A and B are shown apart, each in its own frame.
Chain A
């Protein structure tokens, strides 16, 4: 059984059909890259998997660990192991990052019937992870993402991945807005989380990110559908030839 099975997914946003029968299967432990031009539906796909309101599923289904994902609220999906690393992480002034992390982690553990982390254990865990990602402690005392640069926000998303240990990580254009060094640190953090029990969907326009996070499978999306799948060489082909050829195939 694949970890994630998307079958013939049709999604409408504000009266417009964005996904036109998308089918995709991801096995545990695999990293799948999804590439495609603007408007191909990549972000829509990631938002629908995470459960963002405003997206109407008009057909098809998504099974996560064999269960109907679309029937679950976003917080249920998180507890089951879905993690969306946002392209534009939001700022939440007045909610200290540590408070947010602890509350979220314990909410997920509670939903799974697991014991909540004691505060000292939790602090220890966060300190370990933030050290690896080069995130200074005092940043975590601030409001969530408040005053964080683009790179720092992305690293904060990776910190959360390391903390929540999700089964499926969706990295929505992680490279956008990052310089080479920031990209490397974030990618290292992501690579450290690769495991046979964890799958990743790496959404990106550019091949460069895939030099750092090497995928097992590459899919090309166009006009709301997967139009080609292949190995990591496919990404290099795209870099050379562009997306135009796939626009016609869609």
Chain B
């Protein structure tokens, strides 16, 4: 990673945020040491800026300017607002885990009624246990990134979820991040372990309660998918229109397993999902689909790093960005194929649909291939709606906006179709339809 020697403008504000947070953050001893080291790592670059290659299209320093203070623990009024907000996204029958401003809200979650084979503990509880003074590893990751370092330094809470070996969950786990406070930051770190031979679906939402504005979210999840297991992970980022959300997800996938990841970003002023996926076991399958629906001056970024560390794995990445007005969509897809990773089959496709002259789409596919018996490829397109298709639809009676909506739906449809669960897929289609209707 390039560490550019640039004057660090966010320095004083960030260090006072960190100082003020001491005493609120769970974990003492080694854990506290790790937090300090993590913050020092963050301070070396400060908020990432365009001269750091991985952030060149998402210059957080310019877009965000400063790190906001951590949100306080939500009070009863905040929890009530959160409860109202989650009603529209909560899935019937799912096991809900709700974090409000980065803190697990037990009363809004379903932790008392977990399905058999599932255990959930709050990060706070785990780190505060005396015997876990050495569990600083919960805050560490292999990837080094300034926002991940900041997350480690400031992680207030999160959940540690384990799905035991062989457990086949019949309904999804749903992690709902709700922001209720304005002009503050939240930092959560969660761990999810899908045991050997287990099957689970994990839905993750990021939403804003009424009145929540201009907040900063920095959430991280470290997810292990065991051998012969399957995880379907569907994320919906729909933050307040002036909020900033940088989410990091780190996956390690075992042998003969399947990980399918879907993310749709339609909210926020600045959103970034960075997913680091290591295929660590042979013969596994990875499918990543992403959709950005952006308007006004929204900025949405999906950054993927897929590491084929072992032979025989398949990866597919499919990204669709729809941009209106002066929106900005970024897709970065890096595929690394290590020297021993023969028989790798990795393909990536990113397509951007520009609905206005000022919209901007940036695509950066990268393939780093060190093995010699592989099948890898990538494609990137950007364009406007096809006039002849539009005219055909209008000539059949569809008014202009409806014709555009049908074509846009078709454009993102291929990515959304990849969601296996019928209910979930319908929800995501409905969310896309909402976005389209708001255009009319």
Cβ–Cβ contact B398 & A104, under 8 A: yes
Cβ–Cβ contact B394 & A100, under 8 A: no
CA gap between A92 and B394 in the complex, in Å: 13
A74 interfacial contact with B, CB 8 Å: yes
Cβ–Cβ contact A73 & B392, under 8 A: no
Which of B387, B397, B411 is in CB contact (< 8 Å) with A104? B397
Cβ–Cβ contact B398 & A103, under 8 A: yes
A26 interfacial contact with B, CB 8 Å: no
Q: Identify which of B394, B396, B399 gathers the most chain A CB atoms within 10 Å of its CB.
A: B396
B403 partner residues in chain A, CB cutoff 8 A = 75
Which of B371-393 touch A at CB < 8 Å? 386-389, 391-393
Which of A158-185 touch B at CB < 8 Å? 160, 164
Cβ–Cβ contact B392 & A90, under 8 A: yes
Cβ–Cβ contact B413 & A103, under 8 A: no
| Nearest B-chain residue to A144, judged by Cβ | B392
Cβ–Cβ contact A79 & B392, under 8 A: no
| Nearest B-chain residue to A93, judged by Cβ | B410
A53 partner residues in chain B, CB cutoff 8 A = 387, 391
A90 partner residues in chain B, CB cutoff 8 A = 386, 388-389, 392
A222 interfacial contact with B, CB 8 Å: no
Cβ–Cβ contact B410 & A78, under 8 A: no
CA gap between A9 and B397 in the complex, in Å: 24
Cβ–Cβ contact B411 & A78, under 8 A: no
Cβ–Cβ contact B413 & A94, under 8 A: yes
B410 partner residues in chain A, CB cutoff 8 A = 92-95, 143
Cβ–Cβ contact A92 & B400, under 8 A: no
Q: Identify which of A50, A95, A111, A160 gathers the most chain B CB atoms within 10 Å of its CB.
A: A95
| Nearest B-chain residue to A105, judged by Cβ | B397
A158 CB, nearest partner CB in chain B, Å = 14
B414 CB, nearest partner CB in chain A, Å = 6
A238 CB, nearest partner CB in chain B, Å = 29
Cβ–Cβ contact A100 & B395, under 8 A: no
| Nearest A-chain residue to B405, judged by Cβ | A103
Q: Identify which of B386, B393, B400, B411 gathers the most chain A CB atoms within 10 Å of its CB.
A: B393
A51 interfacial contact with B, CB 8 Å: yes
Which of B397, B411, B414 is in CB contact (< 8 Å) with A107? B397
CA gap between A89 and B395 in the complex, in Å: 12
B252 interfacial contact with A, CB 8 Å: no
Q: Hey, what's the 0/1 contact readout for A32-58 against B, CB within 8 Å counting as 1? A: 000000000000000000111100000
CA gap between A113 and B315 in the complex, in Å: 51
B396 CB, nearest partner CB in chain A, Å = 4
| Nearest B-chain residue to A112, judged by Cβ | B397
Cβ–Cβ contact A75 & B397, under 8 A: yes
Which of A68-127 touch B at CB < 8 Å? 73-75, 77-79, 84, 86, 89-90, 92-95, 99-100, 103-105, 107-108, 111
B386 partner residues in chain A, CB cutoff 8 A = 90
Which of B397, B400, B411, B413 is in CB contact (< 8 Å) with A111? B397
Q: Hey, what's the 0/1 contact readout for A197-234 against B, CB within 8 Å counting as 1? A: 00000000000000000000000000000000000000
Which of A75, A77, A95, A111 is in CB contact (< 8 Å) with B406? A95
Cβ–Cβ contact A164 & B396, under 8 A: yes
Cβ–Cβ contact B388 & A94, under 8 A: no
Which of B394, B406, B414 is in CB contact (< 8 Å) with A74? B394
CA gap between A160 and B282 in the complex, in Å: 51
Cβ–Cβ contact B394 & A94, under 8 A: no
Cβ–Cβ contact A75 & B392, under 8 A: no
B407 interfacial contact with A, CB 8 Å: yes
A82 CB, nearest partner CB in chain B, Å = 8
B12 CB, nearest partner CB in chain A, Å = 51
CA gap between A100 and B392 in the complex, in Å: 11
A78 partner residues in chain B, CB cutoff 8 A = 394-397
B109 interfacial contact with A, CB 8 Å: no
Q: Identify which of A53, A78, A89, A105 gathers the most chain B CB atoms within 10 Å of its CB.
A: A78
CA gap between A25 and B282 in the complex, in Å: 73
CA gap between A20 and B386 in the complex, in Å: 30
> In the complex where A53-B387, A94-B414, A95-B407 touch, is A89 in contact with B399 (Cβ < 8 A)?
no
| Nearest B-chain residue to A86, judged by Cβ | B392
Cβ–Cβ contact B395 & A84, under 8 A: yes
| Nearest B-chain residue to A94, judged by Cβ | B410
Cβ–Cβ contact B407 & A92, under 8 A: yes
Q: Name B residues whose Cβ lies closer than 8 Å to a Cβ of A.
A: 386-389, 391-400, 402-403, 406-407, 409-411, 413-414
A-B residue pairs, 9 tightest by C-beta:
A94-B410, A108-B397, A78-B397, A74-B394, A104-B396, A107-B397, A95-B410, A94-B413, A104-B397
Q: With contacts A94-B413, A104-B393, A160-B396 known, what are 16 further pairs, Cβ within 8 A?
A: A53-B387, A74-B395, A75-B399, A86-B392, A92-B389, A92-B392, A94-B411, A95-B406, A95-B407, A100-B393, A103-B406, A104-B397, A104-B398, A107-B397, A108-B397, A164-B397
